[in-house]
Chain A
Amino acid sequence: MRTKDSNSMMNELHHVTDLLDAYALGALEAYEVAQVEAHLELCPVCRAQAEVARAIAQQLLLSAPLVAPPAGLKAKVLARVHAAAAQDRAVAEAVAPTSVAANAPDKPEVTRRRTMLRRMLDTMLGAEPLNTEDPVAALLLKLLAEPACEVWSVAGTKDAPKNAAARFVGVPNDREGVLITAGLRNLAPDQAYQVWLLHDGKPEPNALFRVERGGRGHQIVQAPTRLRDFEVVAVTPEPASGSPAPTGPIVLMGALTA
């Protein structure tokens, strides 16, 4: 296996040969993956072996016994792609529609906004097709089309599940925004999540919402004044009828910085 060339014995000792099969199977620990990838950058000998291992793994993907899918699957696949296509068109039309007609490639900012909007719609809708008549979807499409629109990150706190996160979308000089959440816990029927907008550190009560499977939720937030007057958006679990002041722990929080 080992070639004696200008490489020193030291280098040979550090070959990652023993890790390459497990690497191709995706069975290494993260620190081993880092070690292998750093070595592969430098070593053509190991790179060639890694390529062979990858080819074997690719062959293994073909080893699954061929099973006829249920008869309805084709229709489901075509319907899902049709829904995705309709959503993509709505996104493209909402954000910078003129650049759709032009043959020029989209500006990076336009591409970025479309990608953000599509991800938010995916989070919001799951596998459901987009209904542009839906008030939340319609507002989201409208907001993302505004050049001054901001998308604020709202993070899960220590009192939320690990993967809890949200985005708050709005134009700072306007009052309307949309909050899209994922990964929140499902609440008991007598509870609901409440949105708070903080002005000078004081929480002002806002909309109530519930979440679906996957902790997905979305809610229109109507601020009493312009969004730029508030520093922070936060979410707490509260009684289903809402509270004048927060009583539950903060599960989501994000700064509304410009």
Chain B
Amino acid sequence: MQRDEDAQLVTRLAGGDETALEPLYEHYGKLVFSLALRIVHDSATAEEVTQEVFVRLWRSAASFAAERGSVQTWLLRITHNLALNEIRRRQSRPVAADHFDWTVEGTLLVDSRQDGDPALAAWLRERAASIQHALAQLPEAQRKAIALAFFGGLSQAEVAAALGEPLGTVKSRIRVGMQRLRDLLLADGIDAHSLEASTYENER
């Protein structure tokens, strides 16, 4: 199982075995890079973030191995944090640039040739498609407010300012949009009540 394999790799990392990093990069490098790119909108910066994420993984391996959490969940959270830090540091918030269309670009950009673990890669593609599908069913205004907050690192007030909408409108779009996403994901068979259920390992 993926989880056991990852856990063994992290245990090796924790013991100072650097060679365990390459298989972990094979499994998750693309996922980390893709999320970083989604947030920073720049390939060179996304590469920087990816490097930093794996250095963090190396240095946190000991405490991480003890917690026995999911590597994928942990990597995504760290990537999200570091990528948002990066855009805040540069203060070049990609507000206007966030005209991202999941439905189109999502499928076009997928490249399955470099995947280290075909089963994991297939699962990730399927899961990404499923989330993208749910997002695509939201009204544009709700999707945009959620994306600006979550991938742009903006507060609700900043989202309102960026869109030129009243704060109350933005707040309700975020609430209604999130509720709708929850319903769609539940209907799609994803157990939104359990964080761990959203990872590859637990679904197999």
Contacts and interface: CB of A to CB of B under 8 A. Distances in A.
B54 A22 contact: no
Contacts of A58: 73, 76-77, 195, 198
A82 B197 CA distance: 33
Contacts, number: 169
B185 A56 contact: yes
B124 A62 contact: yes
Contacts of B31: 66
Interface stretch (B1-9, B91-99, B170-178): B170-178
B185 A66 contact: no
A59 B43 contact: no
A200 interface: no
A239 B52 CA distance: 37
A244 interface: no
A78 B113 CA distance: 21
B193 A81 contact: no
By size class, the interface of chain A is: 35 or more
A163 to B, nearest CB: 10
A85 interface: yes
B30 A27 contact: no
Interface of A is mostly: helix
B47 A70 contact: yes
Given A25-B174, A28-B155, A65-B102, A77 B54 contact: yes
Contacts of A21: 174-175, 178-179
B105 to A, nearest CB: 5
Nearest to B47: A73
Interface in B146-175: 146, 149-150, 153-157, 159, 171, 174-175
B33 to A, nearest CB: 4
Interface in A1-44: 18, 21-22, 24-29
Contact of A55 (B29, B135, B179, B192): B192
17 contacts: A18-B175, A21-B175, A21-B179, A25-B174, A27-B174, A28-B156, A51-B195, A52-B192, A62-B131, A62-B198, A66-B30, A67-B33, A68-B30, A68-B111, A73-B47, A80-B51, A80-B55
Interface of A: 18, 21-22, 24-29, 51-70, 73-74, 76-78, 80-82, 84-85, 88, 127
Given A53-B178, A77-B50, 7 more contacts: A27-B154, A56-B185, A61-B77, A63-B132, A67-B33, A80-B52, A84-B59
